């Protein structure tokens, strides 16, 4: 019995010794939206924001790079705080909250009643090295839907590019944050305007 126990202990120790060391990972969150509280103008009663569709490459939490030969690479040992589509949805929710013109905001995953739903496809959320300089790129095809009958009210493409201050992960995340601010400034105004009831 003792011999069997000793052999088991040796086996476990040897198995532990061959496990690879865990590589430290830098975890990044997008900077908070710089959206300011809006004063006056039209408002919406309710809006829910859905997690956007995306390619398989954008569905994970990696900080991606598009190279000159159209290949995706990723910053090594770097992760975003959530999968990109979820990160984008939550960031937009925060931006709309800061704007203040929607009385009732929710995520579509909460299944709360709402007059309107903002969905779409996130086609780019990465650093682009294909040109003469590195740029953060966000490309979002937004769709505003009436939840009564799931009818499309309007759709529009929003795109923003922002040069990087340095070729490093922290600079890439900061540039993505500035690009996101520019998308949000246009997107929020568009949603508020398109979501108004038709004139009687």
Q: For residue 17, report the phi and psi dihedrals to the nearest 5 degrees.
A: -70, -20
Calculate the average pLDDT of the chain.
89
Q: Note the pTM of the prediction, 2 decimals.
A: 0.86
Distances (CA, A) of 123 to 52, 59, 101, 146, 191: 9, 11, 27, 23, 19
User: Residue 21's pLDDT band (boundaries 50, 70, 90)?
Assistant: low
User: Residue 9's pLDDT band (boundaries 50, 70, 90)?
Assistant: very low
Question: Structural domains in the chain?
Answer: 43-194 (3.40.50.10610)
Supply the pLDDT for residue 8.
42
Q: What is the DSSP letter of 197?
A: P
What are 41-96's pLDDT values in tens digits? 899 999 999 999 999 999 999 999 999 899 999 999 999 999 999 999 999 999 99
């Amino acid at each position: 019995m003792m011999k069997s126990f000793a052999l088991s202990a040796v086996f476990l120790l040897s198995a532990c010794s061959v496990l690879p060391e865990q590589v430290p990972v830098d975890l990044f969150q997008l900077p908070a939206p710089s959206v300011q509280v809006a004063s006056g103008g039209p408002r919406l009663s309710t809006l829910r924001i859905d997690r956007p569709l995306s390619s398989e490459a954008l569905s994970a939490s990696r900080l991606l790079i598009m190279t000159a030969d159209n290949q995706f690479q990723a910053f090594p040992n770097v992760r975003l705080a959530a999968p990109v589509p979820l990160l984008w949805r939550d960031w937009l929710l925060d931006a709309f909250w800061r704007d203040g013109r929607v009385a009732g905001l929710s995520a579509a995953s909460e299944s709360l009643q709402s007059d309107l739903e903002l969905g779409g496809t996130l086609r780019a959320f990465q650093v682009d090295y294909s040109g003469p300089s590195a740029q953060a790129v966000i490309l979002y095809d937004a769709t505003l839907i009436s939840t009564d009958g799931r009818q499309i009210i309007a759709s529009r493409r929003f795109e923003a590019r922002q040069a990087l201050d340095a070729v490093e992960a922290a600079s890439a995340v900061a540039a993505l944050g500035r690009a996101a601010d520019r998308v949000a400034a246009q997107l929020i105004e568009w949603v508020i305007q398109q979501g108004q009831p038709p004139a009687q």
